[in-house]
A and B are shown apart, each in its own frame.
Chain A
Amino acid sequence: MEISATTNDNISESSPSYATKTTAEISSNDNLPIAQAEIIIEEITRNHKLLHRHKLTQDNICIGRGYQNDIILADPHVCPEHLSLSYADNTWRIHDKNSINGTVLEKSRGKKQKADQQIVNDGDVLILGKSQLRLLFTDHQVASTVAFSPFESLIDFIRHPVAVFISIALFMLIAGNISYLNQPTETNISQLFVGAFSMSLLFALWPIGVALMSHITKHDPRILAQLGISFNFFILMWLTDFTEEIIAFNSASHSILGYLIALVPIALTFSLLWLNSYIGFHVGAKRRVLVALSITILLFGGTYLLEYSKKPEFNPHPQYNTVLMAPHYLLAPTNTVENFLTQSNALFEQANKAAQRH
């Protein structure tokens, strides 16, 4: 195939007239070096998403709503005999058949012009009625092959039905445990189970929503992979919360570790969104990072703004860390009264400064 293509080029450069003749004469014979009319026509949406792809090997192509056409479009704004493409002198030319709504040719640079009698270049888009057709030649450059990333094997593992089941079960276990700990009165197992079950249903809305989105945008939904990934991250979030509590419990005010651990949920959210997008949508690497980053910023920035706007101008109540945990979670050495008092002494200066600000 490669050889015939090179020959094609050679021939078309040296004697174009010969090429046209032979195409018509020996279209049935593949063995001969010929300048074959070959074009790929893609029906695309306005967002340039692929709907259908046609590969045609004839030098006259009729496009329209009528059933006699080579490409039949169901668009009511397209005429029954709308336009034709003809191959001559090694080029494709557009002939508008006096269509009512006309045809527009959009060059790859985004320039639009009337399509009639124009020469087609690789990648041009025809706009007829409300439909769009992209015209491509066989030598169109395609993007380089995307290698399987290490995530693939991880995702394959996570999306296994057993793995998904275990993730959701673990999630329910944690949810049940949390509601058990928070319940100030006696609880029974069935109450906890119902609570945990509805919690997991609620949290399943996210991966299901993402899968639905990728289905709508003509991608593979991969619902199990989305469920598996999302629930694993929800569990990780809870683990982070728990670690955060242990750190807050073991450390004094303003510990660096406490500030660092607060960044973990942000990183986790970003990773989850990135993986959601990786599984559900085929987009460029840069765009994927950008989308994941924007949603993360929107989520955390929005939450921060909301809290900030709710914050009263003056809070008469003290805000202090209340985390208490059972004795075996206490890992750090304890402080002495003298040190505690010395450190508390610094607060008076802070309070004085705060009082003077008014």
Chain B
Amino acid sequence: MKVFFTLVFIVFSSTVFATEQAQTIFAQLTPALYQIKLIDKASGEKSSIGSAFQISKDGIIATNYHVISSYARNPEKYRIEYLDYQGNTAQVTLMSVDVINDLALVKRVVNADMPYFRLAKSPPIKGEKLFALGNPHDLGMIVVPGTYNGLKKESFNERIHFTGAINSGMSGGPVVNKDEQVVGINVATSGNQIGFLVPHDKLVTLFTDYKSSVQNRNTHNLPANIKQQMTTQLFTNQNKLMTTLLNSPWPSKALANKAMIPIIEVPFIRCWGDSNADKTDALILSAIARCSLDENTYLSSHFFTGSIEIEFSYMQAKSLSNNKFYHLYQKHIARASSGNRAGKNDVSEYQCHHDVVTPSSTANTAQTITNKSVFCTRAYQDFPGLFDVLYLGASIDKNQQALVSHFTLAGVSQENAMKFTGKFMEAVSWK
């Protein structure tokens, strides 16, 4: 009982301390905190909200790209407004975006120098206490204490793992250390106290680039330039990702002890497996290995890019005629679809090509595979030079066994897509 009381006391006292600290932070930084609203021009009502914070005395405000994405994609339909702690509202201008790290800079008109958030010089240390600020569900500005838990493992684009409740509406809000310096920006949550932040150095880079471009050109960033900026960022990022993938080792691994499949050795691609070995009444035994990049780039609420999916499935007939096996196998490959969401205003329809292909050299050249190969691609409308591609190879050289090798890449260049496809096709074989 004594132990229990002690425990409760410790917990209680630490909470009190955290709350006090949070209150101080909140009081000092409130004037530089904003709610960002996207107003639909036709209806005059807000269509989405998020949080934001000022990072310069002359009115530059940082937020998430996804908060203002509708404006970036459709500047004619929306306008962006801020709401400050005193309830004042005014329009802001979109200046710059970093679509890969989900950041955006907007500018408000200021009459005099204003208080603003300082960006930290160095990343926090693991276990450090941090405070997330934002306006969850339009309920008013709040402070959420939490802990820095390092960078998210297995991610291609870095994210901070933050233990603390981040809710929707807090997106774009700053996360500060006890010295009131910004160390991250709220961006996503996995529920149950797991939150993700954009590391502050991404914002530092975006802000520095912005300042230098203003010095050089001294012009407004027009919506057309934003689109151009996004295209460049998407293009650079896919180049970085695909180069990493193509230059990483692709060791072969056996699937169901019958087929050889490549596993790309990079930490951010993770694999999962499944089989129907427990279903005794199934006519076909199947084993599936699925690998994917668990992150994607948000372009708008119906348009994501940057994802990668790789899937292999091995099938073996239990007691079927060859014809029936192939008939059921055909149904299995009929529904391959894209790995990312995109609508008719974002991409073209898929263009497909198919043929029967035997690679001259494979991972296991003695056991080459003959595939019916299907290659499909669709082009991005607003980001020229970027494509979604889909490949599907269905083995047709064994009577009672089949191997389907399949991948989808989202938002890649033609050159990278073809390099990846070629390497992939030659990496699959029978064992």
A positions within 8 Å CB-CB of B = 180-182, 184-186, 249-250, 252-253, 313-328, 330, 332, 334-341, 343-348, 350-358
Contact = CB atoms under 8 A, between A and B. Distances in A.
Interface string B357-380: 111100000000010111111111
Interface residues of B, number: 63
A316 B342 contact: yes
Nearest to A342: B418
Contacts of B324: 180-181
A253 B352 contact: yes
A345 B352 contact: no
Nearest to B371: A334
Given A327-B397, A330-B397, A343-B353, 7 more contacts: A249-B356, A318-B374, A320-B376, A334-B356, A351-B350, A351-B387, A358-B345
Given A182-B327, A324-B330, A336-B357, A319 B352 contact: yes
Contacts of A317: 335, 337-338, 350
Q: 7 smallest A-B Cβ distances: which pairs?
A: A314-B344, A354-B348, A318-B350, A351-B379, A355-B348, A252-B355, A355-B379
Interface in B187-218: none
Contacts of A354: 348-349, 351, 378-379
B43 interface: no
B390 A336 contact: no
Contact of B360 (A181, A316, A336, A350): A336
Given A317-B350, A324-B326, A326-B322, A344 B418 contact: yes
A252 B353 contact: yes
Given A336-B357, A355-B380, A358-B345, A316 B337 contact: yes
A340 B355 contact: yes
Contact of B372 (A249, A326, A355): A249
Contact of B355 (A328, A335, A353, A356): A335
A184 B381 CA distance: 41
Interface stretch (B127-135, B137-145, B253-261, B421-429): B421-429
Contacts of A351: 348, 350-351, 377-379, 387
Interface of B is mostly: mixed
A106 B304 CA distance: 78
A334 B370 contact: yes
A356 B379 CA distance: 9
B350 A322 contact: no
A253 B350 contact: no
Nearest to B426: A337
Given A316-B337, A347-B375, A351-B348, A323 B330 contact: yes
B194 to A, nearest CB: 31
A316 B338 contact: yes
B352 A318 contact: yes
A322 B372 CA distance: 9
A351 B374 CA distance: 15
A341 B348 contact: no
Contacts of B425: 337, 340
B181 interface: no
B224 interface: no
B25 interface: no
B288 interface: no
Contact of B373 (A313, A322, A325, A340): A340
A102 to B, nearest CB: 70
B338 A330 contact: no
Contacts of A332: 356
B343 interface: yes
Given A319-B350, A355-B347, A324 B374 contact: no
Contacts of B387: 348, 351
Contacts of A353: 348
A252 B394 CA distance: 14
B148 interface: no
Given A316-B342, A317-B338, A337-B360, A330 B349 contact: no
B162 interface: no
A321 B326 contact: no
11 contacts: A181-B324, A185-B283, A252-B353, A253-B353, A313-B344, A324-B394, A345-B418, A346-B353, A347-B351, A358-B345, A358-B348
Nearest to B328: A184
Nearest to A178: B327
Given A319-B350, A323-B330, A334 B358 contact: yes
A313 B345 CA distance: 11
A345 B417 CA distance: 10
A125 to B, nearest CB: 62
B292 interface: no
Contacts of B312: none
